[in-house]
Structures are given as structure tokens and as C-alpha cells.
Chain A
Amino acid sequence: MTQPLIIENITAHYGTTKVLENLSLSVAEGELVSLLGASGCGKTTTLRLVAGFLQPTSGTITLGPKNLTRLAAHQRDIGLVFQNYALFPHLTVRENVAFGLKQRKFGGTERLKRASAMLDRVGLAHLADRLPGELSGGQKQRVALARALVIEPPLLMFDEPLSNLDAKLRVDMRVEIRQLQRANGTTALYVTHDQEEAFSISDRVAIMHQGRIMQLDTPEVLYQKPANAFVANFVGFENLLALSVTARDGALVTAQTGDGALMTLSQDQLGAIPDRFLLATRADGLQVTTDPAAPGLTATLGLRTYLGRAYQYQAKAGALALVANGPLSQPLDQGAVVTLTPNPEQCAILAPE
């Protein structure tokens, strides 16, 4: 039933503007892959290409044994959940869910049976005769989900399905979507701009930028070991330091910033360090200490803000602007001279730009 999706070397244009360049992506059977990125990064374009609402300039899209590339949208057999739900306003909830079955020439009683069973599964059996206009946002989202699932598609696609819901409902719904998708074992492609949503729901996430995939990996790897500066920045590494190695002593490496400030790093903890590299850390990964002998960068603290779990400081090390978190037990004032020590567990070594 369920099938792997393979997108190979897709290039797409809107008019003369190239929006996707040579994009390849595969989603294994039963896997949920998210496309994550800011608006205009090409994630929705990718989804629309797979759905058949857009035609690629070149490349192929296959779903299991079926080549979708030149197939009309209504022949692709993909369950699609829209951002605005796209429920038919003139049909009842049950008729909405049965719509796809009707196109597949199911008989009236069979349609009714399957639609009702599906509405039961999403907990909306009692609303079956309502019109979509009478439903709340969360209920509409469930109907949209039921409508896409009832046709038992080999591939499910979600186009920012939760962006019109409030924060609490968003969390509930994403759990529900994940459970339904798992239970059916359906291959799924999920488009969102919300990082938390993508990371929480997906087996793998593709971070996209300007029509290309910057990194495709599990949420854990993306979060801890971004592969490049863009992804590091995207997943919240506030500090990017350009460093070059001045001395190596076994596993220990001494590197200096553009200003000539020196710091010592351990290859045992960070992996191999090239001669020129970027050190990426989160604010949490830069420890603030008043001990002048500690290894790290000497910096002057600026504005302090309260985060609840820690204090955050805007800090200056020479010409470098950095963000670091310090313990609640020891609030430091503006102008204090401190040492910022990178915590190796929260650092990543990246190739220079």
C-alpha cells in the first residue's frame, strides 16, 4: 500500500525565476520527512510539484513503481492536507470525507461506511452532518485529515497544516497527525516553517534555503551537529566564531580570532579541527566565568536580560559581538570583564564560508 517517494534532480521555474535547483530527496516507506525553511525557500514549491499543481522544468518524481512527473494532479493518488483546510463549503463533513471515495467510484453504502469509520477515528462522528462553516479550526483540521486519509493514499502530504491553529491546539494536533501516520504506516512529506513542529514530528528534516536542501538529517543531528553555518544559525547557534589554528599539541589545538585573541580546544571532544574553521555555539554553550585564568575569550559584558532559567548577556570580545548565558546565582553588571569558555558538548566545528 504505502510507497517510497523519490524526487530526483528537480529544477523548477516560476516564469523566468528559478525557484528550485537540482533538488533530490527521497522519503522511505512509512517515513515522515519535513521540509523546513523560511517562506520563499522552495518547500511549498516542492510539495506542489509532487502534488502535480506545478510542472518541473526537469527531473523526475516517482512514487513506488509509478512515475508521477507528467501525470495530471487528479491521477496521482496523494492525500493532501492544506494550510487553509480547503474543505468544500457546500458539502457536509461526511460528504467532504466521502468526496475522494466518490471519485474512486465507491458505491453509496461503502462510501458512507468508510467515511463514517474515518470520522470515528478522528473523533468527529457527531459532527458528520454539519457544514464546514460551523466547525472550529481544530475540527476543520481533523476533517481535512480524515478526507486525505480515507482514500488510503500511498503518500500523505501536509502543507503547513497547523499554522492557522492556536499554540495549544497545534501541539495536540501534531501528536494526533503523527499517531495516525504511524498507525497507517503511510509515507509522508510535511511542509512547515516551524522548527519545533518539524523536529518533534519528523523522522528526518530537510532544512531548505533558496531552492536547495542545506542539510537533510534526523532532528537530533541537525540540532547538535549542523553541517554548515546556515543550518547552525537556523537551529539557534547564536555565536559563529571564525578561527584559525596557530598551534597543535596532540589533541589540543590553539586557535585565534581575527583580533588575535587565543583559545584552546580539544579534538577529543570536538572531532578533527581543520586549520581554518568556524566555531558555532549557542548562548548556553558559552560559559561566563569571572576567573581570569580560565581558557577562552576575554570579553566585556553589555546588556543583561532575564530568561527565567538563566541570565543572558550581550558580550564584546574585541570587535566580536557574542551572546552568552550565565548562572542565576551570580548576576553580573554591565562592564564586567569575564572569560567566555566554550562548552565542547554544545559546540560544532564548521568549514569556513
Chain B
Amino acid sequence: MKRLAGWMLATPATLMIALLLVLPVAATIGMTFGAPGAGTWGVAQPYADFFTSGFRRRVLWRTFEVAGWVTVISLAGGLVTAYVVSRCPPRVKSILIVLAVFPLLTGVVVRSFAWLVLLGRQGMVNNVLQWSGVTDAPVAMLYTQGAVIVAMVYIFVPLMVLVLVGVLENIPEDLLQASSSLGAGPVASFLQVTLPLAVPGLIVGAVLVFTASFTSYATPHLLGGTRQMMMGTLLHQQAMVAFDWPGAAVVAAIMLVVIVATVLLMTRLARRMNPMTT
């Protein structure tokens, strides 16, 4: 009876996800294995097409590169900010958290658009550069890898700050007091107590930012255009412009594999490194 009740309550959500998510995504993956005997590579022909294309290989590599940089920079910026925020007096802390939440609740399109305005030929960055005499003519900054990275860091730093503030606040105050009562100064305490205990949380934050930037669409679309195509924009281009659906499905499958592998690997690593759970 109880068993039945549990299942009945969970059924609508289970059905919805199974039928409208698992099935369609499985169909997409299935599509990448094409018809048997097609092309020289048989069922793996769409993958062969992907990896023999220098352009697509470059897109995949660029996506790794951009997501990697965005993760590293957000991690560094986020950690320092989160450290300061977590040590502020309660009032200041809550204001700083609200200021970090606000950009997070503002849409990705709006936030990417801000950088479109800033980095354009008539944009403020160019105006400042020319006014200060660093350059004479406007520098082309849009549609470069740097622009995509800066805008993505901008988008993901608030997320990282919030995650890491949570992580740092979870470290019991007692431990830091114990550390200082045993003679460790602020730097020694940070390096020997705070940082080792924050590593699992840092991994979680890094995974969040890496996967989100690896699969993002709006930011590379607006600031990278076709010149700095990434996996997200490539998927859209293949599906909606070139109408090459098997090609798009391969992009989707590769993204899925990278994301799932990253998440599984990293959460396992984070769990192993977490001393709190043993």
C-alpha cells in the first residue's frame, strides 16, 4: 500500500522526464550511429565526419580552451571574493551577497549584451583606450576569443562567489579558532585549514562553471559570432542553418559525453577528497 502510494506520487514527474527527456535525447544519440553500412566508417560515419573536419575539431578544442580559462579565472576571482565576503560583518555580507545574486538573476542575453556595448568599436573600452592614448584607432575586440572569455567570466563569477561563500561558511568557525589558538596566523590558517577543507567545494564550483560554459549559446553567439564558434553555436548552426541533423546530433552527443564524464569524474574526486564525510 505504502509502496504504491510512493510510486503514484512520483509517476507524473517520472513519466514526464522519461518520455520527454530521456527518450528524445536517446533518439538524438541514436541518430549519430546512422544507418549500418553508410559511408566508409559504417555506423560511426557521423563521428568520422566530425573529427575529420579541421573546422569542427577546432571548434571542439576552442570550446575546451574557453571553458577551461573561464573556469580557472572564475575560480581565482571567486575564491578571493568569497573569502572576503565570508569574513565581512553580517550586514555588509548580506549586502554583498545580494549584489552578487542580482547579476545572477539577470538574463544571460542582457548580460552578454552589456559586453557587446562595452567592447564595440564605439564602445566604452575603446573610448577609454583612445582617450588615454593607449591606441589611436579603435581596437577590434568583438568576435575574439578574449571577448568571449571576458563575458563568460562576467557571467559565471557571481555563481562561483555564491557557491564558494557557501563552502567557506560551511567550514566550522571552531576550526579556525582552534587553528589560531594553536598559533597559526591568518595566512597559515588559510593555507593549512581553510583551503584543504574548501577543495571539494572548489571542485563543485569548477564543475558547475565548466559545464555551463562548455554548453553555453548566447554569449559565444553574441560576442564570438561565427568566427569564434563554440560547440553550442555549432550545434545551432548545424541544426537550424545547415539543416544537417546527424551532424548536429554528433555535436550534441559529444557535449553530453564531455559533460557527463566531467561531472562523474569530478564528483567522485570531490567525494574522495572530502574529509567531512569519512
Contacts and interface: CB of A to CB of B under 8 A. Distances in A.
A111 interface: no
Interface stretch (B23-31, B122-130, B173-181, B228-236): B173-181
Given A131-B275, A134-B278, A90 B196 contact: yes
Contact of B275 (A74, A84, A99, A133): A133
A133 B278 contact: yes
Contacts of A100: 182-183
A104 interface: yes
B184 A99 contact: yes
A86 B184 CA distance: 15
Given A82-B174, A84-B172, A90 B181 contact: no
B8 interface: no
B177 A86 contact: yes
Nearest to A133: B278
B185 interface: yes
A74 B172 contact: no
Given A84-B172, A103-B188, A147 B275 contact: no
A220 B221 CA distance: 81
Contact of A99 (B172, B174, B182): B182
Contacts of A230: none
A79 B180 CA distance: 10
B104 interface: no
A137 to B, nearest CB: 15
B278 A51 contact: no
A151 interface: yes
Interface string A83-103: 010111110000000011011
Contacts of B182: 74, 99-100, 103, 147, 151
Nearest to A53: B177
A73 B173 CA distance: 14
A102 to B, nearest CB: 8
B276 interface: yes
A76 interface: yes
B276 A88 contact: no
A51 B275 contact: no
B208 interface: no
B87 to A, nearest CB: 14
Nearest to B171: A89
A51 B197 contact: no
Interface string A50-84: 01110000000000000000001111111110101
B181 A76 contact: yes
Task: List the 5 shortest-distance A-B pairs measured between CB atoms, nearest first.
Answer: A100-B182, A103-B183, A86-B174, A86-B178, A90-B275
Interface of A: 51-53, 72-80, 82, 84, 86-90, 99-100, 102-104, 131, 133-134, 147-148, 151
Interface of B: 172, 174-175, 177-185, 188-189, 192-193, 196-197, 275-278
28 contacts: A51-B177, A74-B180, A74-B181, A75-B183, A77-B183, A78-B181, A79-B181, A80-B177, A82-B177, A84-B172, A84-B174, A86-B172, A86-B175, A88-B175, A88-B178, A89-B197, A90-B197, A99-B182, A100-B183, A103-B184, A131-B278, A133-B275, A133-B277, A133-B278, A134-B278, A147-B182, A151-B182, A151-B183
